[in-house]
Amino acid sequence: MKARVFTNGDFWVTGRDVRRRDSLAALDGRIIRIGDYDECLDAFPRGMKPDVIDLEGKTVLPGFTDSHIHLLSFGLTLQDIPLADVNSIEAVKARIRARAAEMPEGRWILGRGWDQEVFAEKRYLTRKDLDEASGGRPVFLTRACGHIAVASTRALEIAGITRDAQDPPGGAIDRDAYGDPTGILRESALELVRSHIPPASRELMEHLLKQAMEHALSKGITTAHTNDGQAGFPGTMDLYRKVQEQGVPLRVYWDIPVEFMQDLFKTPLRTGDGDDYFRIGAIKLFADGSLGGRTAALEEPYSDDPGNRGILVTPEQELREQVYLAHTHGMQVAVHAIGDRAARVSLEAISSAQSRLPVNHIRHRLVHVQILSPHIMSEMRRAKVVADIQPKFISTDMRWALERVGPTRMRSSYSWRTMRRAGIPLAGGSDCPVEPLDPLLGIYCAVTRKDVEGNPPLGFFPNEKLTLDEAVRLFTMGGAYGAHEEHRKGSLVPGKLCDFVALSEDIASVSPDDIKDLEVVLTVVGGEIAYRKT
């Protein structure tokens, strides 16, 4: 039996209005008492002497849940060229040259995170840009959104993408004035190239996943709702289990890609099955693309691209069938829906499944839910759908969101406060590797609606800011609720798992602008120290 008292902390119990406590007692990984030091010492059976850990006055929050993350993808990106900080095409070329110099001929050069909006040249990359720097190697660089990529001429050749190639369903191959591919691929067209990239070996995946999971713990994440499938089914699950067995105690709720739905149905596993470290999560479905790439499905055309309403990446009827199938098999669904048309179509699919077979409290989710309307919000509430939001997106999207959708639609977009007031349950995530893995950055964006440089000074559409309490809830109770785990996680009360995070300073006393600079100094999972800042 493992008995612990964590003392001299400043425990945030359910919010800052509630009396804060200085000690917590845990037995075998669960909280048995929270209160003052003597009360906590008395909480154990007679004769049992707990280990005492001094928290040195630090502020303690419940362990963070990231409600939408791709941990294995993030791990795999650790070997890619990072391009998120690059602001010119010339600089992209320089990084390709440097990587090419250290890699054998013929090997693929992969990169991720570029964004033409920040390039000095103000244009998309082309295959010719990549060819100039890569010495004939295949190169494949994914845009920040993950829905668009650019391939070098060699990579296009390997994939058989010539001027005669047809656009695949739900995707597009960009072409120049002569009809030749420019190298830019959109949505499902990425797969044409990706399917030719040799996969990482299992050993490499395991090694990179371990790094990713340790990184998550160092950022205060104690539960990750992760959506990955690179190691197949059930291989991806085995991979997470294997890293956990190596002593990495990050709790995982695995959102399963829809292509494994039939394989899953051959097993008895359903949403919620598992143990306190690994549970089966939702079936992850896709309704549309990204707003940055103008592939998010809108009801009306893009304000900066008349005639384009974006892409429903799964045809409406097929999405309905997928949702119904998952629903009738006892699976939660999590549908990627960024545009208002995607949100409407997804909600209709959920409502139709519910009317054919009503299931209470299944808590289906819509992921991202950026462009909305008052009507969609009331439908979400009626359908009891959880909104899985990524506050950090605002700092990236504010640069062009208004141009994309115009002022009228903008008023009901990224409308976190309105959603909260409308009674829609909210959960917070990062969508890492799309955005950095850092819940404190998410909380900062939720309360300030500013980018990391602190702009705009009053925040972007500041009426939609969340309070600090609400923002912390997103990354604690919000995620727990979205996984039916609110009785196990999300707050520091007796009976729940002893998962918490200690911060470098008091989050309630620092200015909201400084929340992004706070550091996690200690992460505790199941009463054990999982990370300590050295």
Q: Residue 227 and residue 209: Cα distance in Å, rounded?
A: 13
288 interacts with Zn ion by CB under 5 A: no
- Minimum Å distance from CB 421 to Zn ion? 26
As a dihedral over the C-alpha atoms of residue 434, residue 438, residue 440, residue 444, rounded to 10 degrees, the angle is -20
| Window contacting Zn ion (CB under 5 A); options: 175-183, 303-311, 315-323, 427-435 | 427-435
- Minimum Å distance from CB 379 to Zn ion? 23
| Window contacting Zn ion (CB under 5 A); options: 161-169, 178-186, 215-223, 431-439 | 431-439
- Minimum Å distance from CB 213 to Zn ion? 17
Cα of 300 vs its chain's centroid, Å: 27
- Minimum Å distance from CB 73 to Zn ion? 8
| Window contacting Zn ion (CB under 5 A); options: 214-222, 261-269, 273-281, 423-431 | 423-431
C-alpha count within 13 angstroms, C-beta hemisphere, residue 517: 7
Residue 431 or 485: which CB sits closer to Zn ion?
431
- Site size toward Zn ion (CB under 5 A) is 1
Residue 10 or 388: which CB sits closer to Zn ion?
388
Residue 58 or 368: which CB sits closer to Zn ion?
368
Q: Residue 109 and residue 131: Cα distance in Å, rounded?
A: 12
Identify whether the C-beta of residue 156 lies closer than 8 Å to the C-beta of residue 181. yes
* Length, in residues, of the chain: 534
User: How far is the CA of 281 from the CAs of 226, 272, 430, 475, 484, in angstroms?
Assistant: 9, 6, 17, 17, 10
Q: Residue 198: is the preceding peptide bond cis (ω within 30°)?
A: no
| Window contacting Zn ion (CB under 5 A); options: 208-216, 273-281, 424-432, 462-470 | 424-432
- Minimum Å distance from CB 70 to Zn ion? 6
Residue 431 or 438: which CB sits closer to Zn ion?
431
Q: In the chain, what are the helix, strand and coil shares in percent, each to the nearest 5?
A: 35, 25, 45
Residue 388 or 499: which CB sits closer to Zn ion?
388
Residue 69 or 269: which CB sits closer to Zn ion?
69
Binder to Zn ion among 255, 431, 451, 485 (CB under 5 A)? 431
> What DSSP string runs through 217-230?
HHTTEEEEEEE--T
Residue 63 or 257: which CB sits closer to Zn ion?
257
User: How far is the CA of 381 from the CAs of 226, 361, 375, 393, 423, in angstroms?
Assistant: 25, 13, 10, 23, 6
Q: Taking CB under 5 A as the rule, which mask of x and - marks residues 72-111 in contact with Zn ion? A: ----------------------------------------
Structure tokens at 63: 């362990």
Contacts with Zn ion by CB under 5 A lie at: 431
